[in-house]
Amino acid sequence: MKLGLSDEERMVQETAREFADSEIAPVAANNDAEGRFPADIVKKLAELGFMGMLIPEKYGGAGLGNFCLVLALEEINRVCASTGVTMSVHNSLATSPIIKFGSDYLKETYLPKLATSEMLGAYALSEAEAGSDAASLKCRAVKDGDEYVVNGTKLWVTTGAHADLFIVMLRTDTEKRSKGISAFVVERDTPGFKVGKKENKLGLRGSSTTELIFEDCRLPAKNLIGEEGIGFVIAMATLDGGRIGIGTQAVGIAQACLDASVAYAKEREQFGRKIGEFQAIQWKIADMATAIEASRLMVYRAARMRDMDVPHTKEAAMAKLFASEAANRAAREAVQIHGGAGYLKDFPVERYFRDARITELYEGTSEVQRIVISRSYLQA
């Protein structure tokens, strides 16, 4: 889609598309099959400026904003959702809280390294008993002079096995609930901190998901993001951007499903005709294409609003909810259009089907998105 894009935005989109098709598409299936993290691809993305898209130019970033990030993310996710989520998390969940809430020290120390992916970023909020109910987290940080002593475990950390820097939400006050949470920057080589178990997943197999373990880990107090007690506010503000990113991922996966389905429908013959000539297939294609266009426009709106710094929690939740459910429908129909072939790893729709499923689960389940959306109306 090119309607309404500036020259700069179109250049970002076209650059991402060309890179995705030439560099990522040829290795995506093998990376998925072997569970291989695309470190070389991430390095090339950084060289193109795609790993520092939200970081101001003064810190070595591209300073392009969320809308340009969305344009690039859709193209990357269209060919490889594992690479797409790595890029999305790094930009929207790892760099943005430092940009928006971090001290000058944190910005000057970490943003230049994040911009070049010298340090790859990750984000840790969830725990065993704190998933959708994120405010119930227990991983504890106790102030001790000019340090915090941290103990506990985090789960479901995307890019955990390869990240160098983690944005981590920790409990600093046990008497308060959401207001007892604070946000910290944690470097991978911090004593007392280690990356734990790597999860064996259905999809996104080229992206690692791990636990994080803290055992009397000492963090410098200067690694606190903002002030004590505002970690939950930081987490939710950050997740607004993350949800836009995952909504974009869903659009990319759905577009891939549509492209593959159209190509197959023009090629496959049954009963002496191309299957694309049958109304049953035509309607699947029409519904898929319509849902993708609607999803894309919702994601675009949320990204524009975030760049304008206006409230967009509802719009981000709507975009993520609609796009993720549309992607799963598209993936299901793509497999159906391919018939038995769609169940084989010889065809990419099998991978799209597996990758699409997570978009309804992370960055807040579909049920959580509906809670967020409904509250914006019922509590107004």
Q: Which amino acids are annotated catalytic?
A: 363
The DSSP annotation for 218-283 comes to EEEGGGEESSTT-HHHHHHHHHHHHHHHHHHHHHHHHHHHHHHHHHHHHH-EETTEEGGGSHHHHH
**Residues facing residue 142 across a β-bridge:** 149
- Burial tier of 153 (Cβ tally within 10 Å: 0-12, 13-18, 19+): middle
DSSP β-bridge partners for residue 169: 183
From 23, 24, 16, 116, select the one nearest 71 (Cα to Cα): 16
Pairing relationship of beta strands 147-158 and 140-144 according to DSSP bridges:
antiparallel
Instruction: Please count the residues of the chain.
Output: 380
| CA–CA separation, 250 and 348 (whole Å) | 16
